[in-house]
């Protein structure tokens, strides 16, 4: 069973990692812990749902890909969700966080993010209702791999897509002007400003990248589970654990952190009762803060 738990852990870890990238950048560059970040996953998943529903209503685009449960609509839904969630994040930034940053300290923003999270979550509830929804009602059966490990074809796709997204982000951060400016700002905002970096612009990019990552994670998550207004809320602790484990501002740190969180959660059930599983991310947070507060990939400040 250990192999099965490992496989499950890697797959759920990939989603947590994707979602945590944005959180990690927000903590480093915007300098506050954004408790509403997980709600962006929820909104991403529901934006994906809107697109898929419209596409299905228009007759869809061809069938599904091979063993996967979906076809082109889902790929396009990923893009649509990323764009729409980015716009939502920019709106929140413009209406709330940017204004607050001018009048109060960063810890007040942490608290404001609590309020924003509540607003976003209940807005989903009001618009889409409390009933859970699936992208596709067809049940996908697991494929048996050597070692008696069972995985869903969709999950393999999900893992592959995560790797693609991380590579793309890596190239963006190291090759593009904006990406380099982002890294500079993360290192030292003042120095970056002096060197002519448009910090406001960088901040907007942080929101766009964070929201896009969250949206993609949300849609991929929605692929294997059902959509509910609490989809993101349930992931707050795993996301924070991943971001803190990896070290704020580290792309690979966030992804690796996600994998560690996913693996720990799934493997933990072999030694502790399943009902204590949600506490695992918290224990990881305490452990890393005690032994290596800058995270695995972070530098000591």
Partner 1 sequence: MTGLIKGCALALAATICIAGGANAQDCPVKLGAILPVSGPMGQVGERISNTGAFAVKLFNEAGGVKGCPVEYVLRDTQGQSAIGVDAAKSLVDLEGVAALIGAVSSGVSLPVLTSVAVPSKVVQVSCCSSSESFTALAEEGKTEGYWFRTYATNRSQSAMGAKLAIDSGFKKTAVIYVNTDFGVGLAKRFEDDIAKLGGTITSSVAYNESQQSYRAEVTKALEGEPDSLFLVAFPVDGATITREWLALGGTDNLIVNNSLRSDDYIQAVGAQYLTNLVGYDSAQPRVASVDTFNELFEAEFDGPPDGPGLHSVFDAVNVVLLAMEQSDEITGDNIREGIRAVTADGGTEVYPGVEGIQRAKELIAAGEAIRYVGATGALQFDANGDVQAPKMTWKLDGETNVETGYMSTEEVAELIKMLDAN
Partner 2 sequence: MIGVLSYLIFFLILALTFGIAVMGLNLQWGFTGLFNAGVAGFLAVGGYTHAILTGPARDAVFGGFELPFIVGLLGAMVAAGVVAIIVGLVTLRLRDEYLAVATFGIAVSIQLVAVNWEYMTGGTLGLIGIPNPSKVLADGPLRQNAIYLALVVGVTLLAYIGLQRIVQSPWGRVLKAIREDEVAASSLGKNPTRVRLEAFTLGCSLMGLSGALYVGFIGFVGATDFLPIITFQIWTMLIVGGSGNMKGAILGAMIVWGVWTGSGFAISKVVAPEWQAQSGALQAVLIGLILVLTLLMRPKGMIGEDVTVSRHATDL
| Site residues, partner 1 (CB under 8 A) | 1, 4-5, 8, 12, 125, 130-132, 134, 137-142, 144, 150, 152, 221, 224-226, 228, 230-231, 234-235, 265-266, 268-270, 273-275, 277-278
* Residue whose CB is less far from partner 1, 8 or 113: 8
Phi–psi pair at 149, nearest 5 degrees? -95, 135
Nearer to partner 2 among residue 223 and residue 239 (C-beta): 239
5 binds, among partner 2, partner 1, none (CB under 5 to 8 A by kind): partner 1
Q: Report residue 272 CA to chain centroid gap.
A: 27
Select from partner 2, partner 1, none the partner in contact with residue 115, using the beta carbon and a kind-dependent cut-off of 5 to 8 Å.
partner 2
Residue number, 34 or 266, with CB nearest to partner 1: 266
Per the structure block, which two tokens stand in for 195?
């060197």
Q: Shortest gap between Cβ of 208 and partner 2 (angstroms)?
A: 22
On whether the CB atoms of residues 202 and 176 are closer than 8 A, the answer is: no
176 binds, among partner 2, partner 1, none (CB under 5 to 8 A by kind): none
Binding site for partner 2 (CB under 8 A): 27, 32-33, 35, 96, 99-100, 103-108, 110-112, 114-116, 118-119, 121-123, 125-126, 130, 236-237, 240, 244, 273, 275-276, 278-279, 281-283, 285-286, 289-290, 293
90 interface partner picked from partner 2, partner 1, none, CB below 5 to 8 A per type: none
Q: How far is the CB of 126 from partner 1 (least distance, A)?
A: 10
């Amino acid at each position: 069973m250990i192999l099965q738990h490992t496989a499950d852990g890697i797959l759920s870890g990939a989603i947590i990692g994707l979602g945590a990238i944005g959180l990690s950048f927000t903590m480093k560059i915007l300098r506050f812990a954004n408790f509403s970040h997980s709600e962006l996953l929820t909104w991403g998943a529901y934006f994906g749902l809107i697109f898929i529903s419209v596409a299905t209503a228009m007759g869809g685009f061809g069938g599904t890909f091979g063993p996967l449960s979906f076809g082109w609509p889902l790929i396009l839904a990923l893009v649509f969700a990323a764009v729409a969630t980015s716009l939502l994040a920019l709106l929140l930034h413009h209406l709330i966080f940017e204004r607050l940053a001018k009048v109060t300290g960063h810890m007040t923003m942490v608290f404001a993010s609590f309020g924003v999270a509540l607003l976003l979550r209940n807005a989903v509830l009001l618009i889409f209702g409390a009933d859970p929804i699936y992208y596709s009602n067809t049940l996908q059966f697991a494929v048996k791999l050597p070692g008696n490990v069972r995985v869903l074809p969709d999950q393999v796709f999900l893992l592959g897509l995560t790797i693609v997204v991380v590579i793309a982000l890596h190239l963006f951060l190291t090759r593009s002007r904006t990406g380099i400016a982002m890294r500079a700002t993360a290192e030292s905002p003042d120095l970056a400003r002096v060197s002519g970096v448009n910090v406001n612009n960088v901040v907007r990019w942080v929101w766009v990248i964070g929201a896009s990552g969250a949206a993609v994670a949300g849609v991929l998550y929605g692929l294997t589970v059902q959509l509910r207004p609490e989809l993101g809320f349930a992931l707050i602790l795993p996301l924070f654990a991943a971001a803190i484990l990896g070290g704020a501002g580290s792309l690979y740190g966030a992804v690796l952190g996600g994998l560690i969180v996913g693996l720990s959660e799934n493997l933990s059930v072999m030694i502790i009762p399943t009902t204590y599983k949600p506490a695992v991310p918290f224990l990881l947070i305490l452990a890393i803060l005690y032994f290596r507060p800058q995270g695995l990939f972070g530098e000591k400040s």
